[in-house]
Amino acid sequence: MLVTILDNSVPFDGRSADAVPLGGPEKGVIALAVSLAKRGHTVRVFNRCEQPSVVDSVSWRPITECDAAHSDWLIVHRDPQLFKYVPNATRTALWISGEGSYLDNSTVLSLVKYYRPLLLLQSLVQSLSVPASLTARPAEVIAPAVLECYRTAPEMLEQEIPKAVITTHPAHDLGWLLDIWITHVKPRVPSAELSIYSSILGRGVTGGEVPEYLQPLLAKVKAAEEKGIRVFRPLPDEQMSQVYRGARVHLYPSNERDVLCTTLGDSQAVGLPAVARDKGAARERLLNGQTGFLAPDDTAFANLTVQLLDDVVTFNQFSTTAREQQRGRGWGQVAMDLERVLL
């Protein structure tokens, strides 16, 4: 099949994930395109890439140069206005990568109703965010996968210092999590360290600008260095897999609008247990009581964090189960599921 994927999010191409950190949706576009090509399809992506290229048998071209009059399958990532670039397609799909409430405006709704695409959703909680006026549209939930570098990561590393990792956006209750760490976790595990991976805060601690609304949080992070809190810029996936291997727990505040929880799925595949709140897609990404915990309240969140930092037996048990249960789904399976619903 001739498969065309359209995206208008941020500039990237098939090589970008190896060089710079990308968001989960962008990594998904790359992984899906490559997996479809491996299954024998002719795949082309039109997006905001800077120049044409062919990477892993996938053609990448700037969307401003899109001249695709026809495609067997047309997959539009997020923005239904992009359907206009390929006027004739045998099957069309709108791949929704975030909360579905953005579809609830008259312009977007009219485009969806006009082009009549299959709605491709990625989690059950995401399906609940789709506007009621679209619930009668054909839709499929196709769960995302994790990249090979996480699925095939070696055993966890020996750890002299128990480390916790945070990958959440600072605006998603990072301040709440810092309070729990400073007040309830660090005093009970004095040797523990908390590593925050954030582009915004990483820029801020080196003197760069951060949005005004995050400046109080940045000041709080800087003042808490003596509490074992460190800030790092996110790394490409191969390197992030090594970060997860050297940690004891992934702390995930969760957010109602986080309907993918991409980094939580990545760390689970490596074998890193997690403590999360039961919000967004967290329940769909970890196995509660087996590969991590869904904490019902603040006290439980602190106690469960301390348990995984301080109890090697529990950590090893949860880590082994995560590696056994959470690394089975690769992007090849996503491509097969897509074939099933589009054929």
Give residue 198's pLDDT.
Answer: 96
Is residue 282 scored above 90 in pLDDT? yes
Write out the DSSP string of 323-338. Answer: HHHSS---HHHHHHHH
Is residue 68 scored above 90 in pLDDT? no
26: Cβ contacts below 8 Å, ≥ 6 apart: 7, 9, 10, 12, 16, 17
Nearest Cα to Cα of residue 283 among 267, 295, 271: 295
pLDDT in tens, 202-228: 999 899 999 999 999 999 999 998 999
Q: What average pLDDT does this structure show over 261-277?
A: 97
* The residue to which tokens 């923005």 are assigned: 79
- The Cα–Cα gap between 219 and 74 comes to 46
Q: What average pLDDT does this structure show over 89-99?
A: 94
Give residue 342's pLDDT.
Answer: 92
pLDDT in tens, 148-174: 999 999 999 998 999 999 999 999 999
* Contact indicator for 31, 209 with CB cutoff of 8 Å: no
* Contact indicator for 9, 51 with CB cutoff of 8 Å: no
Tokens of 79: 């923005």
Q: What average pLDDT does this structure show over 316-341?
A: 95
Give residue 343's pLDDT.
Answer: 85
* The residue to which tokens 């044409």 are assigned: 52
* The residue to which tokens 């020996």 are assigned: 158
pLDDT in tens, 40-51: 999 999 999 999
Calculate what percentage of the chain has a pLDDT beyond 90: 87
Q: What average pLDDT does this structure show over 58-73?
A: 94
pLDDT grade, residue 286 (50/70/90)?
Answer: very high
Q: What domains are there in the chain, each with its CATH number?
A: 2-145+329-342 (3.40.50.2000), 149-325 (3.40.50.2000)
Calculate what percentage of the chain has a pLDDT beyond 70: 100
Q: DSSP letter at 154?
A: -
Q: DSSP letter at 290?
A: T
Give residue 94's pLDDT.
Answer: 97
Long-range contacts from 151-158, C-beta under 8 angstroms, 24+ separation: 151/269, 151/327, 151/330, 152/327, 153/241, 153/242, 153/244, 153/245, 153/269, 153/270, 153/271, 154/245, 155/245, 155/271, 156/245, 156/246, 156/270, 156/271, 156/272, 156/319, 157/242, 157/245, 157/246
Q: Distance between alpha carbon 80 and the CA centroid of its chain, in Å? A: 21
Q: What average pLDDT does this structure show over 86-97?
A: 94
Q: What is the mean pLDDT of the chain?
A: 95
Is residue 118 scored above 90 in pLDDT? yes
Backbone torsion region of residue 80, taken as left when φ is above 0, otherwise alpha when ψ lies between -120 and 50, otherwise beta = alpha
User: Phi and psi of 236, rounded to 5°?
Assistant: -55, 160
pLDDT in tens, 222-241: 999 899 999 999 999 999 99
* Contact indicator for 178, 221 with CB cutoff of 8 Å: yes
Is residue 133 scored above 90 in pLDDT? no
34: Cβ contacts below 8 Å, ≥ 6 apart: 14, 43, 56, 57, 58, 331
Q: What average pLDDT does this structure show over 4-8?
A: 98
What residue type is 137 in one-letter code?
R
Give residue 137's pLDDT.
Answer: 84
Give residue 136's pLDDT.
Answer: 77
- The Cα–Cα gap between 63 and 339 comes to 24
- The Cα–Cα gap between 139 and 136 comes to 8
Is residue 117 scored above 90 in pLDDT? yes
Give residue 67's pLDDT.
Answer: 87
pLDDT in tens, 18-34: 888 899 999 999 999 99
Query: What is the model's pTM?
Result: 0.93
Residue scoring higher pLDDT (21 or 8) = 8
Facing residues of 121 across strands? 141
Residue 271, judged by CB atoms within 10 A of its CB (0-12, 13-18, 19+), counts as buried
User: CA triplet 245, 259, 290: central angle to 5 degrees?
Assistant: 45
Reported residue count of the chain is 343
